[in-house]
Structure 1
Amino acid sequence: MTTTSAPGPVTGHAPEPAAAAPRRRTLRLLLRRPSTVVAVGFLLLLVLLAVLAPWISPHDPFAQDLADRFAPYSADHLLGTDDLGRDVASRLLYAIKLALLAPLISVGVALALGVPTGLWAGLSRGVVDAVLSRVADALLSLPGLAFALAIIAVVGPGLANVMVALGIVFAPSLFRVVRGAAMAVAEEPFIDSARSIGSPTSRVLWVHVLPNVSAPLLVQATILMGLALLSEAGLSFLGLGVQPPEASWGSMLRTAYENQFEAPLSVLPPGIAVVVTVLAFNTLGDAIRDAMTARGRR
């Protein structure tokens, strides 16, 4: 009669999922760069300030005091006041929400338009690819800002309209990135295997192709966030974005420009905010690209 002993306790840790290892390696590569840590920390700080703005703003950002126009930097007005006597620091804090919301809307619209069409064109080829590529080439040949201005002239000014217009402008660039990556993935054997077992095209696109094109898509989307913020600031500077009395960094720059002789330093707070935030988005995009490239070489 044979006896079997009870299995002993299992030692060690469970094996790391195959999909988690590349993500961990990419995260480690990102965190090795001090510039990336600073950029991510700055963007997280902006999110925190946008949430806490109603509680930490020293003054009502819409309250006017014409007797205190262009007040200098002081303990009461940390960044002075504008042409209507409104506290610049409070308006700068309240404008953070729009500065973060605007890129999210425009890049979201671009992703909604560019990703499905790019996946479809890259996987289908043929007539579908030819037609969609020619449309994207035609849109890319147009000056982006001028095309956005044409859309705004039809639908009218306002933050939502401006961001949708910018999303349409950004969509062709995302289409080209996704299409090129999808064409490379479409040649892989696992795509043929998925088709051979009867997987519909929609499942092949979203389950097999999209995860494999997410790396270049993430890089492009991050860089477009900075470009969207810069474009929104430019359009708000022209009076086509956020409408008064709402505060935005672009409209604050316009006010500072119009009153540059009365308050020469008023251009600094919104100008520095735009420059540093765009730089943070671009730094994060460059870091993600470098990390993806370094991971691919291993």
Structure 2
Amino acid sequence: MTAEATAEPVVDRRPAPSERSPRRKLLRGMIRRPSSLVAIVFVLVLVVLAVLAPWVAPQDPTAQDLAAAFAPYSAEHLLGTDDLGRDVASRLLYAIRIALLAPLISVGVALVLGVPSGLWAGLRRGYVDAVLSRITDALLSLPGLAFALAIVAVVGPGLVNVMVALGIVFMPSVFRVVRGAAMAVAQEPYVDSARAIGCSTHRILWVHILPNVAAPLLVQATILMGVALLAEAGLSFLGLGVQPPESSWGSMLRTAYDNQFEAPLSVLPPGIAVVLTVLAFNVIGDTIRDVMAARWQR
């Protein structure tokens, strides 16, 4: 028998296109869309600028020069100065950290509270589902911003306090999304098979159900990131968020509003930054939803 006859056939062990990772498909679908690619690049640039702010910022964001108050755009002050002579470009760069950290805190609190309770209610149903659903309905009936203001009035102003309050406000929406998706997934045959072979409820929730509700959860999280940024900017505008001398886009908008006659263009840098960042989060969320919807229709 020849060597060619005894050689084992070469088997292509690469996964078929239909077997590739869903996360890789999602990422490829997002990159192929110009709008989502621009939004992703914009967010990544913000992350890089937030990390490199001490080296990129042209001046100290808290340094005051009253003699140079309301200075116009120039080579020394690229975006001018505010009422205290602080460099607007430097404060705008440092405020990116707040713009990214604040949504992460609030959405993180909402996920920690809403995901486990939504999974449990969607799987167990019955009395547990009824109690948790009534609690979230009660929270949804309250005006979100007013509820957050009430919490801040009790615990005091500050970034962490404001964002935790917003996370509690966001929790019902996360709970409803996770609960609805978990109820649909819980009817699938593989969940019944997992029960039949003796899998614990904990394993069923985190191994079999959570990965299959991740897509709508990710869409909701990205949308809430934009909402949280707007809420943080609004609360900082009212003086309840980031406290001086630290800068945020909301507090910069407040300063520009109070001095709109002396420096009418000072509202543009923080305002444009807020609009573009919220738009980027929304575009990413919409793209994830569209890509996942196209995949489900196949």
Q: Equivalent residue for 1:88?
A: 88
* 1:225 equivalenced with 2:187 (yes/no): no
Letter in 1 for 2:181: A
Partner of 1:291: 291
Instruction: Give runs of aligned pairs for residues 1-298 of structure 1, distance below 5 A.
Output: 6-8=6-8, 10=10, 12=12, 14-16=14-16, 20-298=20-298
Tell me whether 76-85 or 20-29 shows the greater mean CA deviation.
20-29
Secondary structure of the corresponding residue to residue 282 of structure 2: helix
Q: What is the rounded CA distance, in whole Å, between the counterparts of 1:263 and 1:118 in structure 2?
A: 49
**Which deviates the most, 138-147 or 9-18?**
9-18
SS of residue matched to 2:261 = coil
Greater shift after overlay, 18-27 or 194-203?
18-27
SS in structure 2 at match of 1:242: coil
Offset of 1:14 from its aligned partner?
2.3
Inter-partner Cα distance in structure 2 for 1:26 and 1:60 = 41
CA distance in 1, matches of 2:227, 2:63: 31
Give the 3-state SS of the residue equivalent to 1:99 in structure 2: helix
How far the C-alpha of 1:198 sits from its partner, in A, is 1.2
Q: CA deviation at 1:24?
A: 3.1
1 CA distance for matches of 2:130 and 2:121?
8
Q: For the Cα contact (< 8 Å) 1:25–1:295, is it kept in 2?
A: no
1:56 Cα shift? 1.1
Rounded to whole Å, the distance in 2 between the matches of 1:49 and 1:19 is 37
How far apart are the structure 2 equivalents of 1:181 and 1:245?
44
Distance 1:17 1:28, change over 3 A: closer
1:72 Cα offset (Å): 0.4
Greater CA drift, 284-293 or 10-19 = 10-19
Q: Deviations over 1:177-232 (max 9, x none)?
A: 00000000111111111111111111110000101100100000000000000000
Structure 1 residues 3 and 53: CA distance shift in structure 2, 3 A: closer
CA distance, structure 2, for counterparts of residue 285 and residue 144 of structure 1: 21
Cα distance between partner residues in 1 of 2:49 and 2:58: 13
Q: Distance in 2 between matches of 1:187 and 1:123?
A: 9
CA contact (8 A) 1:252 1:270 kept: yes
SS in 2 for 1:23: helix
Q: Tell me, which stretches of 5 or more residues in structure 2 are unaligned?
A: none
Dislocated runs of 4+, deviation >2 Å: 1-29
Report the alpha carbon displacement of residue 12 of structure 1 after superposing the two structures with TM: 4.2
Measured in 2, the distance between the counterparts of 1:40 and 1:8 equals 46
Compute the displacement of 1:138 (Å).
0.5
Q: Bigger shift: 19-28 or 102-111?
A: 19-28
| Whole-angstrom CA distance in 2 between matches of 1:173 and 1:81 | 40
**Percent sequence identity over aligned pairs:** 77
- Give, in whole Å, the separation in 2 of the partners of 1:209 and 1:19: 19
Cα distance in 1, alignment partners of residues 19 and 214 from structure 2? 13
- Change in Cα spacing, 1:9 to 1:269, as seen in structure 2 (3 Å) is same
CA distance in structure 1 between the partners assigned to 2:141 and 2:228 by the alignment: 19
Cα deviation, 1:109-154, whole Å, max 9, x if unaligned, reads: 0000000000000000000000000000000011000000011011
What is the number of residues matched between the two proteins?
A: 298
1:70 touches 1:83 (CA, 8 Å); kept in 2?
yes
AA aligned to 1:105 is: I
